[in-house]
Amino acid sequence: IRRPRNAFILFRCDFVAQKKIPASVEPDHRNISRIVGRIWKAMSDEDRRPWIEEAKREREKHKRLYPQYRY
């Protein structure tokens, strides 16, 4: 069973899915995480809020599906 994704991971997945990373960087996931991490840190709390709420919903769903799960 996989852990629920946190707000940053949800943001990173969406960022990559929207193809906002140049193709020359794409193959190296370390660089992708560095780029997206800088953007995430520069965002205001208000800009992060949708991702935080989505992560909260994902955690709650995970708890309902796997009530005995511990990580």
pTM: 0.84
User: What pLDDT, in 10s, does the model give residues 5-63?
Assistant: 999 999 999 998 888 877 776 677 888 889 899 999 999 999 999 999 999 999 999 99
Nearest to 35 by CA among 44, 25, 49: 25
